[in-house]
Amino acid sequence: MTNLNDVAIDNDVILEDSIVFVKGEDDILAVGINNVGIKQRADDTMGIRFSLTPKQTKDLERYFTKFQNGEKLYFNISQTGYRPVYYRGLSPITKEVSTEYESKFNVTVFLQKAIVVPDDNYFEPTCECCSFCHIG
């Protein structure tokens, strides 16, 4: 398995200040959370908007173009824990032009919250005297 610290070094990010995408053991992308915005919709879809340098944009595009619509992956923001999501697409890349700083590119990754079904906690009653003793 790829070490996350190695990924952080390769992507020039600090894990506590980044969003990490994971698919499988070795398919990992880490992006710094500066210039990142997340919008959540009521239907459990979200858009993660990035404003990145040309190299970072190319890396992000290369990472997400291998995904099929509905494919499951995980993301972790600032080491708060991995959340399962389904990939829903990538927006067109647009160039953000400014005279104040180096040009950046904007791109949005669309994800949908994966429905996690909890394990069934029902088990057969152990006695016949109580209607509630079998609920876990």
Strand extents, DSSP E, 1-136: 18-23, 27-32, 36-40, 45-52, 72-77, 83-90, 94-96, 104-113
In a domain, 88, yes or no: yes
**C-alpha to C-alpha distance for 135 and 116, rounded to whole angstroms:** 20
136 domain-assigned: no
Residue 126 domain-assigned (yes or no) = no
Flag whether pLDDT at 93 surpasses 90.
yes
Q: What is the pLDDT of residues 111-126, one digit of tens each?
A: 999 876 555 555 555 5
Task: Copy the structure tokens of residue 20.
Answer: 């990490």
- Is position 18 within any domain? yes
Q: Would you state the pLDDT for residue 25?
A: 75
- The answer to whether residue 135 sits within a structural domain is no
Q: How many domains does the chain have?
A: 1
Q: What are the tens digits of pLDDT across the range 35-81?
A: 889 998 888 899 999 999 888 999 999 999 999 999 999 998 988 88
Asked whether residue 17 carries a pLDDT value surpassing 60, the answer given is yes
Average model confidence (pLDDT) across the chain: 82
> Where residue 34 sits, what CATH number does that domain have?
2.40.30
Does a structural domain hold residue 56? yes
Residue ranges making up the domain that contains 51: 4-113
Instruction: Give the count of beta carbons closer than 10 Å to the beta carbon of residue 20.
Output: 21
Q: Is residue 83 part of a domain?
A: yes
Is the residue at 119 inside a domain?
Answer: no
Residue 57, sorted as left (phi over 0), alpha (psi -120 to 50) or beta, turns out to be alpha
